[in-house]
Amino acid sequence: MCGIAGAFRFDLPPDTHHVESMAAVLGHRGPDSSRSIEVADGMMCARRLAIVDVEGGENPISENQQRTWVALNGEIYNHVPLRREQVGRGAHFATATDTEVAAHLLSEFPDASLARFNGMFAMAVYNVQARSLRLVRDRLGQKPLYYTFLPDSTLLFASELKGLLVHPQVARTLSASGLHEYLCFEYVPAPNTIYEGIYKLEAGTELIADRNGWKTRRWWTPPIPGSEPEFDHPQHATERIRTSLEMAVLERMRAEVPVAYLLSGGIDSTAVAAMAAKRSKEPLNTFSVVFDEPSFDESGPASRAAQHIGSNHTEVSFRAEQLQHVLEDIAASLCEPIGDGSLPSMWMLARSVRESGFKVALSGDGADEHFGGYPTYTAHKLARAAKPGRGLIRALSSRLPSSTDNLSTPYLARRFSEGLDHPLHRRNQVWLGAFLPEEISRLTGHQESPWNTVDQWAEGLSSLQNPVAKAMFLDQRLYLAEGVLQKVDRASMAHSLEVRSPFLDHNLVELAAHMPTSAHLKKTHTKVPLRKAVADLLPTSLVNRPKKGFGTPIGPWLAGPQSGLLNALPDLLEGLLEPQPVRTLIQEHQQGAQDHRRRLWSLLILSRWWRGPWGPRPNS
């Protein structure tokens, strides 16, 4: 796991004086070492978190003939069998690192190699003979990669936005569309960012640059759930899921450093830990977050899961009075706003795991998007029938008393009614996001559509009639790739912790997609084949436990013990948003008239970014 950065120009030698500074600001991603390589058309640098070949691994690195240089952020889990194949063809290796395996394969089979990599990665690949650069992002978007072009056509890239922002020629010009997208979705989806002229490489794509210019292309096409069902017998599907998940867990628990496990008490993280426990010679080390807010606290199920698998379990206490300190820590690190309310909890969890001496942790992320775990999928099936009566539904839901409990009925009812005004692909984002489009215009004073990226993804689904399949696909490409996984990456890597999720193995993802969506959801039951596949590994009480969601008690804390965080919010957002709508949100939330937790937390994060070290420079 690393942070990478670089500067390339193909018509004239580029100015590379700032590349090492670009990498230095990513030191939290790789505190163990730093290495820079200068080639004919530029320079690439990596900060290393040593996990594979701890003593001898180097990054960037080339194969032994130095035809291809690779800077890699992430892990290629199947590098050992790939190495054996290359040794059988006469290849020689100087290290045991996965980056050198990638360099050999990309040198010998530049077009076919990516499909053979099983892992999470963002990489820069320089071909010495062709004098070309490839920037590559993994299939599901687990590792980030940002890029921009300077006025002289120099291509800059970095693992985080801050790696570009420290370059003196990179302008910090706020993107109006990026701001509207953030307020709507709680993140800015690729290829956009919060800044004009700076881009995120999309998951499963690569950028290719040489003397003839540059282009992006998709190297992995995400499967549409249920579009090509292959399984006629449910038992066959269950067996395949079990086998594939076991292989994915085994690959991700291999490391030269101790491995921890994030345990929420849900079936996904418990199944991962239980499978690992069967393979481990020693008891696992598991971690979970504990709250004093009952509707958010999952310490009971997590404790039962830990006891069931016999792990050494650590409960990380997160109290209301800690929220302000965590918010300020996040603000100092976050170079692009991410409004996910579970970010503070993930931050606390990652910090505790790292302070306990672990560099690697396994999680259960990705199961809901690929196996149909969200209640929104059932809601989409109801939406068509409910749409004609949306006025009545909205009136009835507005009369429900407000509640700041986790997944409260009043909040879900109001959000459901608000989404009925939109087509499915936009409705899906409304249900998962913060502000409604009409609310954003009142906040910013500008009419700017937040829907462009969402609409583009939906274009490819126009002929698909299955609402659940559409929603699952959009969640995989947007909510998961650009929201959840970026939250996990920033929170974990801020503490130099690598988080691996077996449910993001592309073989398992493709297996799930080849099942009909009706198999995943039966009436109100979710993830049916997955639950059956892992039932024998779980405590009985967890097998059919409904989804609770990993979150933070933002709503009750901002209405109670941490309400003071909101006092200066309108002033902190001055020059960016209109103050009166912000004051109204604060008043309604604190008086208990409305639950505005998602809106207010998104604004708190935005205000800290706006005033923080990675926000726009004055007069820029």
Q: How many CB atoms lie within 10 A of CB 311?
A: 22
What's the Rg (C-alpha) of the chain?
24
Name 595's Cβ contacts closer than 8 Å, sequence gap at least 6.
402, 403, 404, 408, 410, 411, 555, 589
Q: What distance in Å separates the CA atoms of residue 578 and residue 559, rounded to the nearest whole number?
A: 22
Q: Could you tell me what percent of the chain has a pLDDT over 70?
A: 98
Which carries the bigger pLDDT value, residue 537 or residue 523? 537
Q: Give the Cα separation of 492 and 29 in Å (integer).
A: 9
List all residues 6 or more positions away from 101 whose beta carbon is below 8 Å from its beta carbon: 76, 79, 82, 83, 86, 93
Residue 226 has pLDDT above 90, yes or no: no
**Percentage helix, strand, coil for the chain under 3-state DSSP, each rounded to 5:** 45, 15, 40
Most distant CA atoms of the chain, gap in Å: 73
**pLDDT score of 227 more than 60:** yes
| Residue 219 vs residues 106, 113, 114, 120, 159: alpha-carbon distances, Å | 14, 11, 8, 14, 20
Please, which pLDDT band fits residue 212 given cuts at 50, 70 and 90?
Answer: very high
Q: What is the DSSP string of 546-574?
A: PP------HHHHHHTTTGGGGTTHHHHTT
Which residue has tokens 């409604």? 436
* Burial classification of residue 233, based on how many CB atoms lie within 10 Å of its CB (0-12 exposed, 13-18 middle, 19 or more buried): exposed
Mean of pLDDT over the chain: 92
Domains recognised in the chain with CATH numbers = 2-218 (3.60.20.10), 234-371+485-543 (3.40.50.620)
Q: What is the pLDDT of residue 617?
A: 66
DSSP classification of residue 113: S
Q: How many residues does the chain have?
A: 620
In 3-state terms, what secondary structure has residue 48?
strand
Determine the pLDDT at residue 525: 84
Instruction: Give the CA distances from residue 81 to residues 251, 501, 572, in Å, rounded to whole numbers and listed in that order.
Output: 11, 20, 54
Task: Write down the pLDDT at residue 234.
Answer: 65
Confidence band for 399, pLDDT divided at 50, 70 and 90: confident
Q: Is pLDDT at 358 greater than 90 in this prediction?
A: yes
Give the model's confidence band at 117: pLDDT under 50 very low, under 70 low, under 90 confident, else very high.
Answer: very high
> Are the C-beta atoms of 419 and 431 separated by less than 8 Å?
yes
Predicted confidence at residue 294, as pLDDT, reads 84
Q: What is the pTM (predicted TM-score) of this model?
A: 0.95
Q: Return the pLDDT at 1.
A: 64
Helix axes 98-108 and 79-88, enclosed angle (nearest 10):
50
Amino acid identity, position 15: D
101 — alpha (psi -120 to 50), left (phi > 0) or beta? alpha
Write the pLDDT tens digit of every residue in 75-112.
999 999 999 999 999 899 999 999 999 999 999 999 89
- Residue-level pLDDT at 618: 47
Least confident of 52-56, 77-81, 173-177, 516-520: 52-56
Contact criterion met (CB below 8 Å) for 43 and 16? yes
Q: What is the pLDDT of residue 2?
A: 85
Q: Of 121-125, 265-269, 451-455, 547-551, where does mean pLDDT reach its minimum?
A: 547-551
Q: Which long-range contacts (CB under 8 A, 24 or more apart) does 579-582 make?
A: 581/439, 581/442, 581/443, 582/443
- List pLDDT tens digits, range 118-143: 999 999 999 999 999 999 999 999 99
Residue 395 confidence (pLDDT): 82
Q: Please say whether the beta carbons of 557 and 327 come within 8 A.
A: no
In the numeric block, which tokens belong to residue 614?
């990675």
Task: Write out the H or E segment, with its range, that includes residue 244.
Answer: helix 234-253
Residue 389: what pLDDT? 84
The closest alpha carbon to 23, from 39, 41, 7, 42, belongs to: 7
Q: Could you report the per-residue pLDDT of 145-202, keeping only the tens digit for each?
A: 999 999 999 999 999 999 999 999 999 999 999 999 999 999 999 999 999 999 999 9
In the predicted structure, residue 320 carries a pLDDT above the cut 80: yes
- For the sheet containing 61-62, what is the strand order? 61-62, 68-76, 119-127, 132-137, 205-210, 213-218
Is residue 619 scored above 60 in pLDDT? no
The pLDDT of residue 172: 96
Give the distance from CA 479 to its chain's centroid.
8
Q: How confident is the model at residue 443 (pLDDT cuts 50, 70, 90)?
A: very high
